[in-house]
């Protein structure tokens, strides 16, 4: 079974103060993108869970969330099950694009079928929350508002601005360090996460009206850790003539466009400045949880 595992971006990310569970309550509008990894699953004859990746720098041991997701599902089933999993990796690690989380969600969905366990999506989402704060998002559709640690997910319509340009600097931002710096800088207010924007109006806005409303509270600590990333954001805003935001804890930077032609022109401009960039569609499968195998063909055509 082959499934595409999409990257996400945080269009809007507000963070509250550190809570007693060691995590920060948040409120985020997240969207899947046309950038994806490809995963292939086969049942094994024995109880080995084996991961093979096309890129040598990606760990294939239990530090990879794919293995942890497979083991969590197998433990829940209480059966001796094995699988051979192949990963074709395109989503950069440490980029704030949720690649590892997406791979974990995809693994739960796929092995539930391959192993014929019959768990509901709700149960899989529940299991997934233990693997990471961003994992439950991937069970609920392609454009959603996430609250709590990220485990409360409410789908909303995708944005009218259908395209993003992702700038992918060669900087890996470790999420725990970014949150620690956030705490050191005494950032985070409850007001930021309890006040919900008027999503119904936000989703209908063209890119140039939506961009000034979007915030990411992790930009300040990330740019404090990596001043060159903050500087790059300024340069890209100058080159593109529009607001550029960071996704998650970085280092991916993005901006939005209403149409494909503009997004491709924006990508060329970023590439010409020497930064790796890619134009992607946002929420390419509309309201679908677009990892479902029966929509694979449609996704493959849809960058």
Active site residues: 8, 134
Compare residues 149 and 162 and give the one whose CB is closer to ligand C5P: 149
Q: Give the number of residues in contact with ligand C5P, rule: CB under 6 A.
A: 11
Instruction: By CB under 6 A, name the one of 9, 35, 125, 134 that touches ligand C5P.
Output: 134
User: Of 139, 143, 148, which is closest to residue 199 (Cα–Cα)?
Assistant: 143
Compare residues 147 and 278 and give the one whose CB is closer to ligand C5P: 147
Q: Which of residues 212-271 bind ligand C5P (CB under 6 A)?
A: none
**Distance of closest approach, residue 198 Cβ to ligand C5P, in angstroms:** 24
**Distance of closest approach, residue 227 Cβ to ligand C5P, in angstroms:** 21
Compare residues 18 and 117 and give the one whose CB is closer to ligand C5P: 18
Q: What are phi and psi of 88, to 5 degrees?
A: -105, 110
**Distance of closest approach, residue 294 Cβ to ligand C5P, in angstroms:** 29
Compare residues 14 and 74 and give the one whose CB is closer to ligand C5P: 14
| Contact (CB, 8 A) for 18 and 47 | no
Instruction: By CB under 6 A, name the one of 6, 34, 99, 132 that touches ligand C5P.
Output: 132
User: Of 1, 3, 15, which is closest to residue 218 (Cα–Cα)?
Assistant: 15
**Distance of closest approach, residue 200 Cβ to ligand C5P, in angstroms:** 25
Tokens of 28: 């985020």
By Cβ distance, which residue is nearest to ligand C5P?
133
- Distance CA(274)–CA(152), nearest Å, equals 39
**CA distances (Å), origin 191, targets 194, 196, 197, 222, 227:** 5, 9, 12, 21, 28
**Distance of closest approach, residue 168 Cβ to ligand C5P, in angstroms:** 19
User: Of 7, 10, 13, 63, which is closest to residue 37 (Cα–Cα)?
Assistant: 7
Stretch that binds ligand C5P, among 33-41, 130-138, 196-204, 232-240 (CB under 6 A): 130-138
User: Of 5, 26, 13, which is closest to residue 108 (Cα–Cα)?
Assistant: 5
Compare residues 132 and 159 and give the one whose CB is closer to ligand C5P: 132
Stretch that binds ligand C5P, among 128-136, 188-196, 219-227, 272-280 (CB under 6 A): 128-136
24 binds ligand C5P (CB under 6 A): yes
DSSP assignment of 161-175, as one string? --EEEEE--S----H
Helix (H/G/I), strand (E/B), else coil: 280: strand
Stretch that binds ligand C5P, among 19-27, 110-118, 212-220, 231-239 (CB under 6 A): 19-27
**Distance of closest approach, residue 172 Cβ to ligand C5P, in angstroms:** 14
140 binds ligand C5P (CB under 6 A): no
Task: Kindly tell me the sign of the dihedral angle through the C-alpha atoms of 168, 164, 97, 146.
Answer: positive
- Distance CA(12)–CA(202), nearest Å, equals 11
| Contact (CB, 8 A) for 67 and 49 | yes
Compare residues 3 and 104 and give the one whose CB is closer to ligand C5P: 104
| Contact (CB, 8 A) for 29 and 9 | no
User: Of 125, 98, 124, 129, which is closest to residue 113 (Cα–Cα)?
Assistant: 124
Partner residues linked to 13 by β-bridges: 28, 216
Q: Which of residues 169-208 bind ligand C5P (CB under 6 A)?
A: 175-176, 179
26 binds ligand C5P (CB under 6 A): yes
Residues that bind ligand C5P in the complex, under the rule CB under 6 A? 23-24, 26, 132-134, 149-150, 175-176, 179
């Amino acid at each position: 079974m082959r499934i595409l595992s999409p990257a996400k971006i945080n269009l809007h990310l507000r963070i509250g103060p550190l809570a007693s569970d060691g995590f920060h309550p948040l409120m985020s509008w997240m969207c899947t993108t046309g950038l994806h990894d490809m995963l292939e699953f086969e049942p094994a004859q024995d109880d080995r869970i084996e991961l093979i990746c096309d890129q040598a720098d990606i760990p294939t041991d239990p530090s990879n969330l794919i293995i942890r997701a497979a083991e969590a599902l197998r433990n829940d089933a209480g059966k001796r099950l094995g699988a051979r999993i192949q990963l074709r990796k395109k989503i950069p690690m440490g980029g704030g694009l949720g690649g590892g989380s997406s791979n974990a969600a995809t693994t739960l969905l796929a092995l539930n079928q391959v192993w014929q366990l019959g768990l509901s999506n709700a149960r899989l989402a529940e299991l997934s929350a233990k693997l990471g704060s961003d994992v439950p998002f991937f069970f609920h559709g392609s454009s959603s508002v996430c609250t709590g640690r990220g485990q409360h997910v409410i789908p909303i319509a995708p944005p009218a601005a259908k395209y993003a340009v992702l700038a992918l600097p060669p900087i890996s931002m470790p999420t725990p360090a970014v949150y620690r710096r956030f705490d050191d800088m005494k950032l985070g207010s409850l007001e930021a996460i309890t006040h919900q924007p008027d999503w119904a109006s936000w989703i209908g806005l063209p890119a140039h009206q939506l961009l000034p409303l979007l915030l990411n509270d992790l930009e300040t600590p990330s740019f404090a850790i990596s001043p060159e990333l903050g500087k790059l954001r300024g340069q890209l805003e100058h080159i593109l003539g529009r607001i550029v935001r960071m996704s998650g804890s970085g280092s991916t930077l993005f901006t939005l466009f209403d149409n494909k032609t503009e997004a491709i022109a924006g990508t060329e401009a970023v590439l010409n400045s020497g930064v790796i960039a890619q134009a992607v569609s946002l929420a390419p499968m509309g309201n679908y949880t677009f990892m479902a195998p029966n929509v694979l063909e449609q996704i493959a055509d849809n960058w």
